[in-house]
Amino acid sequence: MQNQARIKTILTAKPIDQDVTLNGWLKSRRESKGLTFLDITDGSCLNGIQVIAESTLRNYTSEISKLTTGCSVAIEGRLVSSPAKGQDVEVHAKKISVLGWADPETYPLQKKRHSFEFLRSIAHIRGRTNSLGAVARIRSRLSWALHHFFAKRGFFQIHTPVITTSDCEGAGDMFTVTSLDLGQIPFDKNKVDFSKDFFGRPASLTVSGQLEAEAYALALGNVYTFGPTFRAENSHTSRHLAEFWMIEPEMAFCDLEGDMDLAEEMLKYVVKDCVDNCPDDIDLFNRFIDKNLAAKLSSVLENDFARISYTEAVDKLTQSGQKFDYPVKWGIDLQSEHERYLAEELYQRPVIVTDYPKTIKPFYMRLNNDGKTVAAMDILFPGIGEIVGGSQREERYDILQERMKKANIPLENYEWYLDLRRYGTVPHAGFGLGFERLVQFVTGMSNIRDVIAFPRTPGVA
């Protein structure tokens, strides 16, 4: 058995009056004038195909008339033009084999529309709904488009490690990886004795592949890594996951300007690719999830992103006359209410904020000449807030070492990172795009838990 004929292919090629075979799941069934109409989907596209079964089929009474939503079937038949409204082609079945039943008493997808909250409780089944199926197809397309974007520009993909002994963001929100018996943890003077652990020292799941990507940018020039990243922050928002995917390009001989240009070009490229290649799925979201989605997507494509410094952003926010829950003054980390005001109200398009205070950004960002700010950039999207975070990297050995010491970073774990500045250091820059936030933007889905197949959040795995 090989699943060659997908419904998408049949609906695109439309081999009228020819025999077709297809496999799929029943969305709905109705009987009329001695005929049974089956709506079959196979996940290849949003649309299903209508299959008509006559009562003369061998298993009509014993099986076909008992089919319910969710049953899986294999169908052989002839594709014909449909006389009725709603579809231009349909299949007149010659043979329908039931592959799997789905007990209507217990199969959870009976109603036409379920709440996303309910669907999260059946994550293993929800991909069969129109909306979550469309999310999965768009997600796949966006991933492909990202790889394509970088491949076309000669970037090399680096598979950076998932298990690491360094904390890239210096925030300490890491999941420990251990093979110690948690019932009998070895202690040495009240401290866990990691010398007895698998790696002989503390190890964690990575929060970012950046540091390792930097090593390969300083070998191959332009590289990117695209993998899962993990953060043990106790955030219960619609924009945070404990396990999320990040795409992180890193470029040697590149400054902040070049970094921003690449990020803007990349975002436009992948959004356009998706608009061009997933029109039916995007139309579904535009109709049922966010009526302004199409307009938002074209606004990203048609406008240059606004670019302002953090200091200008703080001025604009304080002059705005807006009442924010979290008051604005120079030195604070921008909160999501501030980010959204900038992107949604003030500029009504994506905004790149640069040159943040060094005190609120990680050690690796390049210190500006003012001694107070770093060459950082965050890209803020309407409806999302921060979608990209990046910077030019500190390539000067002395300054980097100084900043690491000030941040209490254990230098012995980062000698390899400092080596990159000892031997043939160059200006370089990169950024991280939160992949789920991109999928949220393109689909209009309001909760990040609904744009990844199996979301991991505090209390949920």
> Which residues lie near ligand 4AD (CB under 6 A)?
168-169, 208, 210, 231, 240-241, 244, 246, 248, 386-390, 430-432, 434, 436-437
Residue 123 C-beta: closest distance to ligand 4AD, Å: 17
434: contact with Mg ion by CB under 5 A: no
Residue 215: which of ligand 4AD, Mg ion, none does it interact with, CB under 5 to 8 A by kind?
none
State the Cα–Cα distance between residues 122 and 242, nearest whole angstrom.
19
Say whether 156 sits in a helix, a strand or coil.
strand
Residue/partner pairs of 95-101 with CB below 8 Å, 24 or more apart: 95/57, 95/58, 96/38, 96/51, 96/53, 96/57, 96/59, 96/63, 96/64, 97/73, 98/59, 98/63, 98/67, 98/71, 98/72, 98/73, 99/23, 99/72, 99/73, 99/74, 100/71, 100/72, 101/68, 101/71
Residue 389 C-beta: closest distance to Mg ion, Å: 3
Q: Which is nearer to Mg ion, 55 or 359 (CB)?
A: 359
What sign results for the dihedral spanned by CA atoms 388, 394, 399, 400? positive
Residue 248: which of ligand 4AD, Mg ion, none does it interact with, CB under 5 to 8 A by kind?
ligand 4AD
In sequence order, what are the beta bridge partners of 37?
30, 52
Q: Which is nearer to ligand 4AD, 108 or 357 (CB)?
A: 357
**Which DSSP helix (H) or strand (E) runs through 364?**
none
Q: Which is nearer to Mg ion, 10 or 241 (CB)?
A: 241
**Amino acid identity at 199:** F
Closest CA to 255 of 431, 433, 432, 427: 427
Residue 169 C-beta: closest distance to Mg ion, Å: 8
Positions 187 through 226 that interact with Mg ion (CB under 5 A): none
Residue 227: which of Mg ion, ligand 4AD, none does it interact with, CB under 5 to 8 A by kind?
none
- Which residue is closest to Mg ion by CB? 389
Residue 211 C-beta: closest distance to ligand 4AD, Å: 8
Tokens of 344: 């949604």
Q: Which is nearer to ligand 4AD, 91 or 400 (CB)?
A: 400
Binding-site size, Mg ion (CB under 5 A): 1
Residue 390: which of ligand 4AD, Mg ion, none does it interact with, CB under 5 to 8 A by kind?
ligand 4AD
Residue 422 C-beta: closest distance to Mg ion, Å: 28
State the Cα–Cα distance between residues 366 and 403, nearest whole angstrom.
10
Positions 364 through 403 that interact with Mg ion (CB under 5 A): 389
Instruction: Note the residues at the interface with Mg ion (CB under 5 A).
Output: 389
